[in-house]
Chains A and B, each alone.
Chain A
Amino acid sequence: MDAVQGYEMSRKIRRRHSACLGLLLLLAGLMLPAGSTLAHGVDYRIERGEAVMVHFSSHHDGAMAGAGFRVFSPDGERIFATGNTDSLGRAVFVPNQPGLWRVLMATEDGHGAEVEVSVEQGSAVTALDPDKDSTALTAGRIPATAAGIGYLFGLAGLLALWRLRR
């Protein structure tokens, strides 16, 4: 009985070894013709360079974190990069050619902004012009609202004067 059991056991072990060997040979065979089998190994390289960083913020809610953005290269046809703003509301990309780049940020509820970034040869961005490269209100919201009310009253005054002259 022990001899039979020992025979069966050794047969099972031999069969398992053969299966393992067969599997290894199969994998080795698959790897030989196709180098892409190794593609699951992800390579990386750390580079240092200049990036363009666009801050998006809402007048009421502050930094617009997690908003989807897309970057269009100067040819304007294809999307160069897509992503979501980070927790500080920043969209970051690294341009690979000079020209006028377009960054479009949009949220599902219809808020968003289009930003044009000018990139010169050999540098990530041109010198920033605070008047042109930011939509932040320099005067503040309350003075801007007061100015709007003033414009409306002024226009009404002009309309009233025009009516009186008729």
Chain B
Amino acid sequence: MHIPDGLIAPQAYLAAAALAVPCWAYAVRRVANALDERAIPRLAVLTALAFVLSTIMVPLPGGTSAHLSGMGLLVLAFGLWPAFLAFSLVLALQALLLGAGGITALPVNALCMGLAGGAVVVGVRSLFGANTSAWATVLPVWLGVVVAAVLLALVLGAQPYLASDPDGQPQFFPFGPAVTLPVIVLPHMLLGLLEGVLTWMILGILDSRRAAA
């Protein structure tokens, strides 16, 4: 789902960086103060799992494909800010090691998927209260994935209006929101369901291990 380098205009990624840097600084402070010695290895293992999940491409109807993110898993296991930081790390490693996504696009991807998508997961999960049914996990994760996809589609769809040559031709991503919204969001409506079910299963395993310990 994440945007690669070269597709977004400098004014878009610089603005995103200006917004993301203070968010990362705040997240580092929260992680340093909130996580204890028992939580750190768990965070490392689940971040690594999110990293591995993000390398798995899921074929979807219509000939397209998308990949899981693990964002909902991190948010529901550790809360918004540690998950935002961990997910940003996953995105950075994907860009540096696997050539997926990008460094200039990292703030945009982190804000849309890690922060906005994560905030939706937290908000919708809180509506369920103490409910521990599958829907209390699947629905928040599904909505978080869909909202993140909508935001990324809007960012990409805005690029033709942000930078064009003297003839009016887009200098970066060339398709407007009328194209990006259906093409990006519809597959992620299916993928979000898969991610929600997977998150519910993994959290169930973690809870049973914790109860047994």
Contact = CB atoms under 8 A, between A and B. Distances in A.
A157 B43 CA distance: 11
Contact of B55 (A78, A145, A156, A162): A145
A152 B173 contact: no
Given A104-B172, A148-B51, A59 B98 contact: yes
A72 B98 contact: no
Interface in B9-57: 31-32, 35-37, 40-41, 43-44, 47-48, 51-52, 55, 57
Contacts of B4: 111-114
Contacts of B156: 110
B165 A78 contact: yes
Interface string A143-166: 011011101110111011011100
A40 interface: no
A149 B65 contact: no
A155 B89 contact: yes
B204 interface: no
B148 to A, nearest CB: 12
B64 A106 contact: no
Interface residues of A, number: 37
B3 A110 contact: yes
Interface residues of B, number: 47
Q: Per DSSP, are chain A's interface residues mostly helix, strand or loop, or mixed? A: mixed
B89 A110 contact: no
A135 interface: yes
A159 B97 CA distance: 22
Interface in B140-168: 152-153, 156, 165-167
B183 A109 contact: yes
A113 B65 CA distance: 17
B93 A106 contact: no
Contact of B175 (A60, A78, A106, A144): A106
Interface of B: 1, 3-7, 31-32, 35-37, 40-41, 43-44, 47-48, 51-52, 55, 57, 64-65, 89, 93-94, 97-100, 152-153, 156, 165-167, 169, 171-175, 179-180, 183-184, 187
> When A and B form their complex, which 4 residue pairs have the shortest distance between CB atoms, in order from nearest?
A114-B6, A156-B44, A148-B93, A60-B57
